[in-house]
Chains A and B, each alone.
Chain A
């Protein structure tokens, strides 16, 4: 039932370019009752939220199955995730454009809440490994901010990707490569004194690299 509802909402979004009119209408089209819908989801918005959460989750579990995954350093794991993301994003580009094309970095749409949670769990795990092997500097409470920083970084990648007009979106790959290099350099050398410093430092640099 869950799957059926998610698929229906997403295909509606992709086909019509906007959300379904109402739960009632959707249930009619699917020949299910409203009760069946509300047993699965509290709202239409949460259906989309689940979709994005599961989407990113499937990308993460797929890369974890890679033969070489255990041997990857944290930076390589994060890179592998981003490249997998940019490959998968090609299948969902028009939906991504429709739903997130007009976002600014400071916007945090609720439809991304689930995705953000899953992403930060992944980032957290990756960063902890990095701290264990010295690749990432431990900064006490500041270290707790790292998953948030990586999430912001992912948002810049998404933004760059949606604006990218290069053949095969190769420029996005180059952007990923350069910015991750930069971000992990920062995390390694702790070239900042506070959380605010970090974010203030990171965002313009990333934005600048995006323009190159």
Chain B
């Protein structure tokens, strides 16, 4: 505890440095034009938020990704936005029967002994019904019809609107659209989710405090996913409860270790961590809903996570090399652009990689997440960033960022203190 206390003090001082620092220095504006700019910014943000909040499904998801990655919304909006889950209307029981007929040629009561007519809760593109068979309890997730179809057409419709409102160029966002569209379409295929769930759960069952429901392929189909019914406390309820610090640390550690294993060992990870995807059952963290998973190549993994190398912050040469490797700095960049990008990235890196620096981290420190939001806000106002031409970086980063952003937010809500180990290949001898 004393060691953590010391770490806390050091980290605190570093935060003040970032809190007050300008991410990118621009030309000084007169106070009046600054006020105008602020007002215009706020109005734009409101319009963006209003417009995209009304859109459900694909467009909302796209806007979420853009707002995290491009810092396109002020922190207050971003926070609300990111947690909005796009949802479909409930399915009537006859529609559930219809879906069973489509995929199995049988009605629910022909496959189960009992089947709840009312859903027990919603899922992002469907709902979950409790069922029993031979004394066992099942959670049966049923998908709303036509989601995949409307997704593609919704995104196509919203694209020009998004580009206009957000002031972006087609070439800049093309890869975002494609990446988000691909992931969202994958989410509509429950057979893929089943495959990934079984794979991830088998590959992670050695982790002591992480558990997974059992999956039933013979009772699953493209629109229906059947798994073991598990009772537990949803993670957000647990986080907001009077759980002890020890309990919070244990669950936070389980969550951290699960992600470390997925990202560093499996290169396949649950890319949309949301409190609804996790249950707390005693001392175990239970992982449900592998709807959104992202696979990265070993090559991309190395390039992306090289940024955790402790030697990097002190070496501009290494940092520049790593950024070129990822096409964040491109050959056509001028000296000025290169130095702006380097400064921005090293600031981001220092902040985001902080949990990895000292072997342990207190996610309960509210300044950490606030600093991340504030840094995003700085960047949002920095116009010269937007004006930099060229398609940069890899679309794979979108969901890597989403996963870490989500993970940090969850741990922040849990207020956990976790121990952090660097992957072996990054440890210095």
Contacts and interface: CB of A to CB of B under 8 A. Distances in A.
Interface of A: 66-68, 72, 75-76, 79-80, 83, 86-87, 166-168, 170-171, 173-174, 176-178, 180-181
Contacts of A76: 92-94
Given A170-B146, A171-B150, 4 more contacts: A79-B94, A83-B97, A167-B149, A181-B92
B98 interface: yes
B94 A67 contact: no
Given A171-B145, A171-B146, A174-B146, A72 B94 contact: yes
Nearest to B143: A170
A83 B95 CA distance: 7
B91 A170 contact: no
Given A168-B102, A174-B144, A80 B150 contact: no
A119 B133 CA distance: 37
Given A67-B109, A174-B145, A181 B93 contact: no
A80 B94 contact: yes
B121 interface: no
A189 B154 CA distance: 32
B101 interface: yes
A173 B97 contact: no
Which residue, of A72, A79, A177, A178, has the highest number of chain B Cβ atoms within 10 A? A177
Interface residues of B, number: 18
A177 B95 contact: yes
B91 A177 contact: yes
Closest 9 A/B residue pairs (Cβ)? A79-B94, A170-B145, A83-B98, A173-B145, A170-B146, A174-B146, A171-B146, A80-B94, A166-B149
Contacts of B92: 75-76, 79, 177, 180-181
Contacts of B91: 177
28 contacts: A67-B107, A67-B109, A68-B109, A72-B93, A76-B94, A79-B94, A79-B95, A83-B97, A83-B98, A87-B101, A87-B102, A166-B146, A166-B149, A167-B149, A170-B145, A170-B146, A170-B149, A171-B145, A171-B150, A173-B95, A173-B145, A173-B146, A174-B144, A176-B95, A177-B89, A177-B91, A178-B89, A180-B92
Interface in B83-97: 89, 91-95, 97
Contacts of B225: none
B116 to A, nearest CB: 12
Contacts of B146: 166, 170-171, 173-174
Nearest to B101: A87
Which residue, of B94, B98, B146, has the highest number of chain A Cβ atoms within 10 A? B94
A170 B95 CA distance: 11
A92 B150 CA distance: 26
Nearest to B102: A168
B168 to A, nearest CB: 26
B191 to A, nearest CB: 14
B148 interface: yes
B94 A171 contact: no
Contacts of B144: 174
Which residue, of B89, B95, B150, has the highest number of chain A Cβ atoms within 10 A? B95
Contacts of A171: 145-146, 149-150
Contacts of B101: 83, 87
Contacts of B97: 68, 80, 83
Nearest to A86: B98
B93 to A, nearest CB: 6
A67 to B, nearest CB: 6
Contacts of B148: 167
A173 B97 CA distance: 12
Nearest to A67: B109
